[in-house]
Amino acid sequence: MGCLFVLFSLITPRFVIVVLWIFTDYLSRAFGSWFWATVGFFFMPTTTLAYAVAKNDLSTAGGSITAAGVVVIVLGVLIDVGLLGGSARGRRRADR
């Protein structure tokens, strides 16, 4: 059951990025080029989505990110780092 949860949590943000890329211009408005969205897709997908939300929905009229946007981005980073570190913690626990 744990493996299914890990697979689901790894696939979901990437699936959302692909759907946004195909059907909207949400990511292109946030990033301006395809390069950073592609890098984010492979390395930190939740942070990529969080930045897109912060840039599109939580930004001021001038395009700068507000404090709420920074909170959303930090949460995205914590989720991405937590997903990466969870397997090491599980291996240590299994070795005991």
pLDDT per residue as tens digits for the range 42-94: 999 999 999 999 999 888 877 788 999 999 999 999 988 886 666 566 666 66
For the chain, the first-to-last Cα distance in angstroms comes to: 21
Structure confidence at residue 59 (pLDDT): 81
Angle at 18 between CA 47 and CA 16, to 5 degrees: 55
Which stretches of the chain are DSSP H helices? 2-23, 26-31, 34-43, 45-56, 67-95
3 state SS of 22: helix
Structure confidence at residue 90 (pLDDT): 63
Structure confidence at residue 95 (pLDDT): 66
**Mean pLDDT across the stretch 11-36?**
92
Phi-psi sector, 63: left (phi>0), alpha (psi -120 to 50), beta: left
Q: Is it the case that residue 7 has pLDDT exceeding 90?
A: no
Structure confidence at residue 75 (pLDDT): 93
Angle at 47 between CA 45 and CA 49, to 5 degrees: 70
The pLDDT-based confidence of 4 (bands split at 50, 70, 90) is confident
